[in-house]
Amino acid sequence: MGYETSLQLVNVKIKNESMPVVTRAIKTGKCRGLGKIQYFFTVIGLDNFGFLRLLDNGSFSTPYGVNDEDGTAIALDGKWYDVEKFASWLKKHSEKGGRIILHSAEGDGLAWGWEFDGKCGMNYFHLDHVGKWR
């Protein structure tokens, strides 16, 4: 059982000092102590500027299509188990401002995610109304 969502990585730039760890995790598909989230490393890659990108590996659907040049996708739809654990790992390696965003694909309109502070912290957020009713 799981919740069908669309996953997006927005401006998730890896710190220079974390590049070896993140690159190794992506290349090997493994990271010590993170067995449950190893599948994330099969759908992410790094661009030339150090930003994480989603990759279409055929396991998830891509609602916006795939870039023919590099195989990247804006979003991937699926059941993202243990995504908060992945976010907790990523917060140690992300510069300030990077976000993981999840948007429900089940018709309830929910959207939520985490934003990284660049200091090994992250903040949970969700879509909510702002201001008074008009």
The C-alpha torsion from 109 through 114 and 115 to 116, rounded to 10°, is -170
| Continuous segment of H or E residues that includes residue 24 | helix 19-28
* pLDDT digits 0-9 by tens, 23-42: 999 998 777 777 778 889 98
Encoded tokens for 14: 């890896």
Element (H, E) at 84: helix 83-90
Digit-coded pLDDT (tens) for 40-51 = 998 999 999 999
Instruction: Please state, for a pLDDT cut of 90, what percent of the chain lies above it.
Output: 63
Give the pLDDT mean for 53-82.
Answer: 90
Predicted structure pTM score: 0.88
For the cut 70, the answer to whether the pLDDT of residue 1 exceeds it is: no
